[in-house]
Structure 1
Amino acid sequence: MAHHLAITYIRHFVTKENEAKQYIGWTNVPIVKQPNVSHQLEADIVMASDLLRCRQTAQLLFRDVVIECSYRWRELHFGDFEGKTYEQLQTVEAYRYWLGDPFRYAPPNGETFTDFEARVEQAIDDVVRRSVSHVVVVTHGGVIRYVLSQYAPDVRPFWEWHVSFGEGVTLYNTKERWRERKRCISLAAVRFKENENG
């Protein structure tokens, strides 16, 4: 008998560094504002990246729930590029190499894409081992792009996926298929409605 497991991935709310288009992989910064949003999501477990922007987003969306935090759900570590913008980096040789092939080159003092992938896969393993049917993960844009490029029903490369700040996607699959790393059966967008009163 198939055991269904849906995983909803939500991208954290925006930070001022996001607005300034800075690389902030492991930089620990807060969200800009605390939107008052409503949703119908019910999860057996809510997980989040341990970085502040994800923890704050998770606490706003799931006010009375204990959030399980893990570094494994973090964004790629951008090393020497952290806190900088394209304009500041465009003449840096290492940056041009990385932009040309980010799957092959790592930012100086940063994380390789292979290490990033392995970390996210370990986080998925942790979810699949649980006796649950729906898990929500509040995480980062790069993590969601990676998951969609690997597990969405339609095959598209990493850079062709995009989820806006404060939005998400639910991947529906069976535990067995997750264990075997098979693509999901279906996918649905998740959007939150901002409450007008308060």
Structure 2
Amino acid sequence: MGHSVIVHLIRHEKTAANIERKYIGWTDESIITKNVEYDLPIQPESVYGSDLKRCRETAHLYFPTAYFHPFKKFREMNFGDFEMKTYEQLKDNPLYRQWIDFPKTVIPPNGESFANFTERIIHQFRQIVAASGDYCFVVHGGVIRVLLSVFGPKEESFQQIAVQHRCIYTLQWSNWTSFEGGARCELLSVVPIMEKENS
């Protein structure tokens, strides 16, 4: 591919909190599925991602022979006092309602601002993607949403983007110069991750 840049973004497998529709940020919860084999179209030697268990475990599940590079800066947003709570539990909290309506300006109590969340992800991402090549990340839904809002082929806000489990989001730039200059990717493809069929 010459001087192209290819980035694969994968959301971790579901945890109990995901099933229960809780805000799970820095809580270090394990994934539910651990003993299923998957058939992935890519087999990277190195995988980058969050240092939390759900990303480590997913990377090992999907890419058992790859070396995993953990980074604290790739963690999900820190939801502070909203952590591990559901919409139903929070819906009568005035500050929560403000945060839902104005997520870029209102900060969860004891949590993280959207600006800080975005800055740390982009900074870490650019440190890793420092040359042309093929990169694979296993991270959190919010992290992928930030990266797609900044680098996706069309202009969409964080709130407009939905990220599914068991999908590979692949962004492609034809040359390093355009990526380095901050251009959006030229191509985005989404491929489902399928379980291996028993032979």
Q: When the two structures are superposed, what TM-score results if normalisation uses the length of structure 2?
A: 0.93
Are the aligned partners of 1:46 and 1:66 in contact in 2 as well (CA < 8 Å)?
yes
Shift of 1:17: 0.6
Corresponding residue number in structure 2 for 1:26:
26
Structure 1 stretch displaced more, 151-160 or 18-27: 151-160
Task: Give 2:143's aligned amino acid.
Answer: V
Task: Give 1:134's aligned amino acid.
Answer: D
CA deviations on 1:65-112 (whole Å, 9 max, x unpaired) are: 110010111111100100100111111121111111001111101010
Shift of 1:190: 2.5
- Structure 1 gaps, min length 5: none
Task: Give 2:53's aligned amino acid.
Answer: L
Which runs of at least 4 in structure 1 moved beyond 6 Å after TM superposition? Answer: none
Give the whole-Å Cα distance in 2 for the aligned partners of 1:68 and 1:114: 25
2:93 is the counterpart of 1:92: yes
Corresponding residue number in structure 1 for 2:13:
13
Residue aligned with 1:155, SS? coil
Residues 94-113 of structure 1: pairs in structure 2 closer than 5 A: 94-113=95-114
Give the whole-Å Cα distance in 1 for the aligned partners of 2:132 and 2:186: 18
Give the whole-Å Cα distance in 1 for the aligned partners of 2:19 and 2:39: 24
Corresponding residue number in structure 2 for 1:81:
82
Shift of 1:128: 2.2
CA deviations on 1:144-173 (whole Å, 9 max, x unpaired) are: 111111111122222222121121201001
Corresponding residue number in structure 2 for 1:68:
69
Identity %: 36
Are the aligned partners of 1:26 and 1:77 in contact in 2 as well (CA < 8 Å)?
yes
Corresponding residue number in structure 2 for 1:46:
47
Give the RMSD, CA atoms, in angstroms.
Answer: 1.5
- Structure 2 gaps, min length 5: none
Task: Give 1:110's aligned amino acid.
Answer: G
Give the whole-Å Cα distance in 2 for the aligned partners of 1:175 and 1:139: 23
Give the whole-Å Cα distance in 2 for the aligned partners of 1:177 and 1:128: 13
Give the whole-Å Cα distance in 1 for the aligned partners of 2:85 and 2:53: 19
Are the aligned partners of 1:38 and 1:193 in contact in 2 as well (CA < 8 Å)?
yes
Give the whole-Å Cα distance in 2 for the aligned partners of 1:168 and 1:107: 30
Residues 128-143 of structure 1: pairs in structure 2 closer than 5 A: 128-129=129-130, 131=131, 133-143=133-143
Give the whole-Å Cα distance in 2 for the aligned partners of 1:6 and 1:15: 28
Are the aligned partners of 1:13 and 1:31 in contact in 2 as well (CA < 8 Å)?
yes
Q: How many correspondences in the alignment?
A: 196
Are the aligned partners of 2:40 and 2:193 in contact in 1 as well (CA < 8 Å)?
yes
Are the aligned partners of 1:51 and 1:74 in contact in 2 as well (CA < 8 Å)?
yes
Q: When the two structures are superposed, what TM-score results if normalisation uses the length of structure 1?
A: 0.93
CA deviations on 1:115-141 (whole Å, 9 max, x unpaired) are: 011101111111222x55111000011
Give the whole-Å Cα distance in 1 for the aligned partners of 2:102 and 2:66: 40
